A = this chain, B = another copy of it.
Amino acid sequence: MNVKVNNTCRMAASPEEDTRGGGGARGLPTRQAPKQSGARGTGELMRIGEAAERSGVSCRTLRYYEELGLLALSEHSAGGARRYTDDDLARIHRIRELQELLGFDLCEIGTILRAEDELSALRHAYEADVAVDRRREILREAMEINTRLRALVRAKRDRLDAMLEDLEARARRNRARERELGS
């Protein structure tokens, strides 16, 4: 009789992802103007606050990802502030999917992303002077990881399907029980 675990915690609408998607009171433009450039182009780069909100994560999380090398931030700073492109946002989304859907830890996610980055670097003709053998190796590595990921996704989806069937069976039983009890 030491800890007395009797917390009856509530069940959130969705675990570990805070119902992201636009906060409240969209009216007054609290947003600071885009720094130093008279007229903003259609796609001005965002700072960390906006990037975090749009991604449904905290600023701390984004800095943490950068610290781990998951995010490179093409255009770091302009007075010291981080700048996020849409590609960065996509990458953040990717990280979250790998984390939440497949359950990878950030280190493994780093491995996955780095393999894809190397491949993408080749594709984009940076590093035009890479030996063919090395190219093949990079490609093979990426393909291997891709294969493993696809297998994992399918396995997870199958488990979810099984779970859904189970839940639906329960639901049917519950509805029967409800009729039994009277409306």
Contacts and interface: CB of A to CB of B under 8 A. Distances in A.
Contact of A153 (B11, B97, B160): B160
A20 B110 CA distance: 25
Q: DSSP majority for the A interface?
A: helix
Contacts of A87: none
Interface stretch (A30-38, A40-48, A50-58, A169-177): A169-177
Interface residues of A, number: 65
A10 to B, nearest CB: 7
Given A146-B171, A181-B135, A5 B101 contact: no
9 closest Cβ contacts across the A-B interface?
A9-B107, A15-B103, A15-B104, A157-B160, A16-B103, A153-B164, A11-B111, A143-B174, A150-B167
